[in-house]
Amino acid sequence: MLGWLNEAGCLKSWVNDGPIDSAFVIRAIDEWAAGLIMLTVLVLDNASLHRSKALQARLASWQEQGLFVFFLPTYSPHLNKAECLWRKMKYEWLPDSAYTSYETLKAAVEQILATYGQQYQIQFDPKHCIINSV
């Protein structure tokens, strides 16, 4: 699972049956960047797949498209809105029954992602990670 949230709380996500590696992240960013209509900043954490040579090689071409990648400081998951989302999913929104098999877990995750913003929501405060969730 890969995803990010914008300032308005809109979620863009991808689910992959294979590994979430640099190639997958690059494909997802390429797909997303192709639809951008204004200058945009994408904030990434320092996961090794975000710092790979292959991803670094794409930075200049994304900038030409109006996409600028900013890397969070090391050891700062609290600044990553998507990390807040993954934590809510894992510890609050996914029922225990979702973990009975890969298929049930994938279906439960996809259901949360599909209904994020309606059934599931996180409201962010600039000073705190989460102030309210539904």
pTM score, whole prediction: 0.75
Tell me the pLDDT tens digit for each residue of 64-82.
999 999 988 887 777 777 8
Share of the chain above pLDDT 90, in %: 48
Pull the structure tokens for residue 116.
Answer: 């994020």
pLDDT in tens, 113-126: 999 888 888 877 66
Q: Which residues of 86-118 are buried (b: 16+ CB within 10 A; e: fewer)?
A: eebbeeebbeeebeeeeeeeeebbeebbeebee
List of domains in the chain: 2-133 (3.30.420.10)
Question: What does the pLDDT read at residue 47?
Answer: 82
What is the pLDDT at residue 41? 92
